[in-house]
Amino acid sequence: MATDILHPSIQPRTPSGMFANEPFTDFSRPENKRAMENALDAIAPQLGREYDLVIGGERLKTAEKIISINPARPEQVVGVHQKAGAEHAASAMSAAQEAFTSWSRTSSDVRVSLLLNAADIIRKRKFELMAWLTYEVGKNWAEADADVGETIDFLEFYAREALRLAAATTPIQYPGERNELHYIPLGVGAVISPWNFPFAIMAGMTAASIVTGNTVILKPSSDAPTIAAKFIEVLEEAGMPAGVVNFCPGSGATFGNAIVEDPRTRFIAFTGSKSVGTEIHERAAKTRNGQIWIKRTILEMGGKDSILVCADADLNAAIEGVAASAFGFSGQKCSACSRAIVEAPIYDDFVEKLRQRVAKLTLGDPAKNHNLGPVINKSALASMLAYVEMGKKEGRLICGGNAPAADEGGFFLEPTVFADVAPNAVLAQEEIFGPVLAIIKVDSFDEGLKVANNTEYGLTGAIYSSDSNKLDRARHEFHVGNLYFNRKCTGAMVGAHPFGGFNMSGTDSKAGGPDYLYLFTQAKSVAEKL
100 and 136 in a single domain? The answer is yes
Per-residue pLDDT band for 38 (boundaries 50, 70, 90) equals: very high
Q: Which of 334, 337, 399, 489 is catalytic?
A: 334
55 domain residue, yes or no: yes
24 domain residue, yes or no: no
How far apart CA 322 and CA 435 sit, in angstroms, is 12
pLDDT over 50 (residue 1):
no
* Residue among 298, 98, 57, 97 at smallest CA distance from 191: 298
| Residue 7: predicted pLDDT | 65
181 and 286 in a single domain? The answer is yes
295 and 353 in a single domain? The answer is no
Catalytic-residue membership of 300? yes
Residue 472: CB atoms within 10 A of its CB come to: 10
| Residue 19: predicted pLDDT | 98
pLDDT over 90 (residue 335):
yes
Q: Taking residues 348-358, report their average pLDDT.
A: 98
Neighbouring residues of 291: CB distance < 8 A, sequence distance ≥ 6? 263, 264
Residue 298 bridge partners (DSSP) = 269
- The CA angle 284-286-290, to the nearest 5 degrees, is 100
260 and 403 in a single domain? The answer is no
pLDDT over 60 (residue 339):
yes
454 domain residue, yes or no: yes
Contact 344, 442 (CB under 8 A): yes
**DSSP helix/strand/coil, 490:** coil
How far apart CA 406 and CA 413 sit, in angstroms, is 10
Evaluate the CA torsion angle 122, 126, 130, 132 in order and state its sign. Answer: negative
Contact 496, 511 (CB under 8 A): no
423 and 513 in a single domain? The answer is no
How far apart CA 363 and CA 272 sit, in angstroms, is 25
- Give me the CATH number covering residue 348: 3.40.309.10
Contact 12, 109 (CB under 8 A): yes
Tens of pLDDT along 68-99? Answer: 999 999 999 999 999 999 999 999 999 999 99
pLDDT over 70 (residue 368):
yes
| Residue 3: predicted pLDDT | 40
Per-residue pLDDT band for 409 (boundaries 50, 70, 90) equals: confident
pLDDT over 70 (residue 441):
yes
pLDDT over 60 (residue 6):
no
Q: How far apart are the first and last CA of the chain?
A: 28
Q: What is the CA radius of gyration of the chain?
A: 23
Helix H, strand E, coil C: the string for 171-200 is: CCCCCCEEEEEEEEECCEEEEECCCCCCCH
Q: Taking residues 329-333, report their average pLDDT.
A: 98
What is the reported pTM? 0.97
Question: What mean pLDDT is reported for the chain?
Answer: 96
286 and 333 in a single domain? The answer is no
Tens of pLDDT along 156-178? Answer: 999 999 999 999 999 999 999 99
Structural domain count of the chain: 2
9 domain residue, yes or no: no
345 domain residue, yes or no: yes
Catalytic-residue membership of 334? yes
10 domain residue, yes or no: no
pLDDT over 70 (residue 35):
yes
* Residue among 351, 302, 316 at smallest CA distance from 456: 302
How far apart CA 111 and CA 369 sit, in angstroms, is 37
79 and 110 in a single domain? The answer is yes
265 domain residue, yes or no: yes
Tens of pLDDT along 191-234? Answer: 999 999 999 999 999 999 999 999 999 999 999 999 999 999 99
φ, ψ at 357 (rounded to 5°): -70, -45
320 and 291 in a single domain? The answer is no
* Residue among 447, 450, 515, 437 at smallest CA distance from 479: 450
Neighbouring residues of 17: CB distance < 8 A, sequence distance ≥ 6? none
309 and 414 in a single domain? The answer is yes
pLDDT over 70 (residue 399):
yes
339 and 229 in a single domain? The answer is no
Tens of pLDDT along 472-520? Answer: 999 999 999 999 999 999 999 999 999 999 999 999 999 999 999 999 9
Q: Containing domain of residue 313, as a range?
A: 305-493
* Residue among 340, 323, 519 at smallest CA distance from 427: 340
Residue 82 bridge partners (DSSP) = 65
| Residue 226: predicted pLDDT | 98
| Residue 157: predicted pLDDT | 98
Q: Taking residues 5-34, report their average pLDDT.
A: 89
Q: Which of 300, 394, 414, 431 is catalytic?
A: 300
| Residue 405: predicted pLDDT | 74
Which alpha helices (H) appear in 45-189, and where do they start and end? 86-103, 108-124, 126-137, 141-166
Strand 215-219 with 337-343, pairing: unpaired
Per-residue pLDDT band for 407 (boundaries 50, 70, 90) equals: low
Which stretches does DSSP call E strand in 344-425? 396-399, 416-419
48 and 173 in a single domain? The answer is yes
501 domain residue, yes or no: no
Contact 329, 371 (CB under 8 A): no
**DSSP helix/strand/coil, 78:** strand
513 and 474 in a single domain? The answer is no
| Residue 447: predicted pLDDT | 98
Residue 524: CB atoms within 10 A of its CB come to: 10
* Residue among 431, 484, 421, 487 at smallest CA distance from 457: 431
- Give me the CATH number covering residue 245: 3.40.605.10
**DSSP helix/strand/coil, 398:** strand
